[in-house]
Structure 1
Amino acid sequence: MGRLSDCFSEFMFEYDTPRMVLVRHKKVGIVYRLIQLGVLAYIIGWVFMYEKGYQSVDSVVSTVSVKMKGIAYTNEKNNSRIWDVADYVFPHQGVGSFVVMTNYIETAGQKQGNCTKDGVCKSDSDCEKGKSMEGENGILTGKCVEYKDTLKTCEIFGWCPLEDDYHIPDPPLLMAAENFTMFIKNAITFPRYGVSRSNVVPFNKSCIYHKDTDPLCPIFRLGDLVTMAGFDFRKIAVKGGMIVIGIIWDCDLDWSASHCNPTFNIHGLYGVDSLSTPGYNFRFAKYFVEDRTEKRTLMKVFGIRFDIIVLGMAGKFDIIPTMTTIGSGVGIFGVATVLCDLLLLHFMQRRNVYKSLKFKSAEDEGEAQMITVGGREKATRE
């Protein structure tokens, strides 16, 4: 119990106060200054210059609109056709995520009725009535009917004739899409600082974006975007793909707002050698009535999906983060003292002498006489 009381007394009634000891030692002095120099370089170089610890920051608020230009010509099965923006962009222009069609499979004149499908059957029992087949646009009628003279197949009820999507056109039908142009209009604001900017600055309307020669031009050639994403347009146009266009605003508002301009980062959402299923496609139908019968033209569209993402941060001088950073830096300087104390008190030959100079103990009751015990000065009452 007495020992516990002594421990409690030492914990409750002792107070540590720093003691200044001047030590003249070349090695320790050099280590001390080198550590201080390293801390100072870190604070000035990294915290202030690189991380801009003297600034407060604000996130970007933005809006994006896109306009496509270009036409394509196809002549599939002696059916000549011109494709313009209204035909090959889905959905309509003006959003930050859209698809540009590069290839398609067209199934014209479909109407609801009975037709045959691929696959072989021997009797009606092989065709379960009412069952829907995966990948087919109908349900089984329960009949096994003749197909291609010697073969029989299950009959289905659905949109006939059935779509044949096993043979994808190659080369892609809209190879001309490589030369389509995309105009990206991006307006942003940093509400905390009341600064608004746009990527549409005075520019030559015939310019085409190039990261080195024309990095601020808002007009992009589709073939260039695909190349910058790491793909070959000829290959990706067959089955489609997905590409992200990142617009990055990194602004230092301690300078004029005219220096606040975007940079573009273009990359694909999967690698060239990705094991995941590549491509991008969807279907839509155009309905019409012919001879009082509803019909449709089914389109399976392969295209490049573009997702436009805007990221941004602005910084400006602020006294509060500046003082906080300075205070943190001053605190880090204490690392030099801690390390040098460890060196002096535990690794130097005269460590016991340094300990006796570094640590003292004093009592506030009665008269005390300072004596040295084990290299450390302590006070005892007479």
Structure 2
Amino acid sequence: MSAGGLAAAAACLSVLSVFLTRAHSGGMAGWGLFFVSLLNYKTEKYVIAENRRIGILFRLYQLAVLGYIIGWVFVVRKGYQEREEAVQTSVITKLKGVTLTNSSETGLHLWSAEDYVIPPNGEQVFFIVTNYIETPNQRLGFCSESSKVPSGRCLSDDDCVEGETVTAGHGIKTGLCINSTGTCEINAWCPLPVSFICREPLLSDAENFTIYIKNFIRFPKFEFSKSNVLETSDDSYLKRCSYDREMHPYCPIFRLGDLVSWTGHDFQDMAVKGGSVGVLIEWNCDLDKDSSRCNPQYSFTRLDMNLNNSVTSGYNFRYARYFKDQNGETYRTLYKVYGIRFDIMINGQAGKFNIVPTLIAIGSGVALLGAGAFACDMILLYMMNTSSFYRERKFEIINFNKKLLRHENNKNKRLSDFFYISLQIS
């Protein structure tokens, strides 16, 4: 609403209050006058109030509104732009690195990306093995349940119901209680896996593995596409660069140890029991500028814990590799792997000049300026000692019939005076 519109609204409110007062004091006659007054037309009347306090208040308000419109709406929020946040995105990942492990159970084992990356096809979410427990040569048979499983403990055969599944256990009860272990006999893959975990990660060298994160984004409204890979004609750039916030902010190759350290945690500590790391790629593109200035911003956080001593932290799961012996019988090697899960999350928005949001922003600013005039009018009309005097000057009721009659009488009087003077002269 404009300043004039707000002032007119103030006038309407004042006139309405007058007629409501008359209606209250005059009964039905007052109500009749009120309803007749609804057919009247209210227009603006400009009155210059020489009140410095109100004048200073009004100018300060105008300066504040102008500062808000120019500084916040246009400069900071870019209110002159049309925005799009429905970014279309694709992520491709590729890991490189080789390490050698040596344990008493498995001996020497060479780990390459095909072994420690799950899944190996380079998706937006992937898992890297940093530690593991291996149980080789498991075969289907009968063995005693682990004493660490409460529902597998027993004192007699009556505690081991045949065919019953061991809750949070490893197999099916056979109905026998093994006195030497105090647990039920089960039908399962035997021997049972051990729960001992190394205090040091077996794949400690994974800290130096590298990950190549290739991200493509597209804003369909503006038909704009971009990649996080630096546009360069140097073919060897990606082979020798590594992401650094200062030196190489647009290199998409990251060292795993750096990714974890940027979350505020140590890689070797996280690698023992695993964890979850979020990689956030943020695109904020001003399409009124050159496309080379639309570049991603990276941030990193640990997702699997809120406190440093949280018991819920860590990440692990099991999988098995199956084989057949010379007799055709199946056996397997069970792996309980600990590692770091990486979640790559993409957010983005783009803006470009458009006349519609520009006009809306300007219109909102004009309405705010009008609100200042309305507020100052309310102060002058109702909140000052001289408010009654100001209302008398601000509002005037004009009866056109009486005014026209008075105007005609004055005109006729002037004409009669003119003819009288003319006759006297002649």
TM-score (norm 1): 0.89
SS at match of 1:135: coil
Partner of 2:286: 252
- Residue 30 of structure 1 aligns with an amino acid whose one-letter code is I
Q: 1:63 aligns with which of 66, 77, 90?
A: 90
SS at match of 2:244: coil
1:271-315 Cα shifts (integer Å, max 9, x gaps):
343646111111111011113211111111111111111111111
Moved more, 206-215 or 39-48: 206-215
- Is 1:20 the counterpart of 2:39? The answer is no
Q: Whole-Å Cα distance in 2 between the matches of residues 191 and 90 of structure 1? A: 32
Give yes or no for contact 1:230–1:272 (8 Å, CA) kept in 2: no
Q: 1:176 to 1:272 in 2, by over 3 A?
A: farther
- Is 1:134 the counterpart of 2:167? The answer is yes
Q: 1:84 aligns with which of 86, 91, 112?
A: 112
Aligned-residue Cα RMSD (Å) equals 2.1
Q: Whole-Å Cα distance in 2 between the matches of residues 281 and 10 of structure 1? A: 82
- Is 1:105 the counterpart of 2:133? The answer is yes
- Residue 89 of structure 1 aligns with an amino acid whose one-letter code is V
Q: Whole-Å Cα distance in 1 between the matches of residues 41 and 309 of structure 2? A: 65
Give yes or no for contact 2:281–2:297 (8 Å, CA) kept in 1: yes
Partner of 1:377: none
Structure whose residues are more often strand by fraction: 1
Q: 1:289 aligns with which of 324, 332, 339?
A: 324
Q: Give 1:14 deviation, angstroms.
A: 4.6
Q: Whole-Å Cα distance in 2 between the matches of residues 238 and 231 of structure 1? A: 13
Q: 1:177 aligns with which of 206, 212, 220?
A: 206
Partner of 2:72: 46
User: Can you give the 5+ residue segments of structure 1 that lack an aligned partner in the other structure?
Assistant: 370-382
- Which structure has the larger Rg? 2
- Is 1:188 the counterpart of 2:217? The answer is yes
Give yes or no for contact 2:238–2:253 (8 Å, CA) kept in 1: no
Q: Whole-Å Cα distance in 1 between the matches of residues 292 and 370 of structure 2? A: 42
Give yes or no for contact 2:283–2:294 (8 Å, CA) kept in 1: yes
Q: Whole-Å Cα distance in 2 between the matches of residues 46 and 70 of structure 1? A: 48
Partner of 2:302: 268
Structure whose residues are more often helix by fraction: 2
Moved more, 290-299 or 217-226: 290-299
Percent of pairs identical after alignment? 44
Q: 1:235 aligns with which of 269, 274, 293?
A: 269
Q: Give 1:237 deviation, angstroms.
A: 0.8
Give yes or no for contact 1:231–1:272 (8 Å, CA) kept in 2: no
Q: Whole-Å Cα distance in 2 between the matches of residues 231 and 10 of structure 1? A: 78
Partner of 1:157: 187
Moved more, 132-141 or 9-18: 9-18
Partner of 2:313: 278
TM-score (norm 2): 0.81
Q: 1:184 to 1:11 in 2, by over 3 A?
A: farther
Partner of 1:75: 102
State the number of aligned residues: 364
Give yes or no for contact 1:249–1:262 (8 Å, CA) kept in 2: yes
- Residue 146 of structure 2 aligns with an amino acid whose one-letter code is D
Q: Give 1:79 deviation, angstroms.
A: 0.7
Q: Whole-Å Cα distance in 2 between the matches of residues 80 and 182 of structure 1? A: 25
Q: 1:325 to 1:274 in 2, by over 3 A?
A: farther
Q: Give 1:32 deviation, angstroms.
A: 0.8
Partner of 1:9: 35
Q: Give 1:2 deviation, angstroms.
A: 3.3
- Residue 47 of structure 1 aligns with an amino acid whose one-letter code is V
- Residue 258 of structure 1 aligns with an amino acid whose one-letter code is S
Q: Whole-Å Cα distance in 2 between the matches of residues 63 and 121 of structure 1? A: 54
Q: Give 1:368 deviation, angstroms.
A: 6.7
- Residue 239 of structure 2 aligns with an amino acid whose one-letter code is K
- Is 1:118 the counterpart of 2:118? The answer is no
User: Can you give the 5+ residue segments of structure 2 that lack an aligned partner in the other structure?
Assistant: 1-26, 148-152, 405-426
SS at match of 1:325: helix
Q: 1:347 to 1:88 in 2, by over 3 A?
A: same
SS at match of 1:284: strand
- Residue 23 of structure 1 aligns with an amino acid whose one-letter code is A
Q: Give 1:318 deviation, angstroms.
A: 0.9
Q: Whole-Å Cα distance in 2 between the matches of residues 134 and 295 of structure 1? A: 24
SS at match of 1:344: helix
Moved more, 268-277 or 96-105: 268-277
1:303-359 Cα shifts (integer Å, max 9, x gaps):
111111111111111111111111111111012212211322233332211111122
SS at match of 1:192: coil
SS at match of 2:346: strand
SS at match of 1:49: helix
- Residue 124 of structure 1 aligns with an amino acid whose one-letter code is D
Partner of 2:6: none
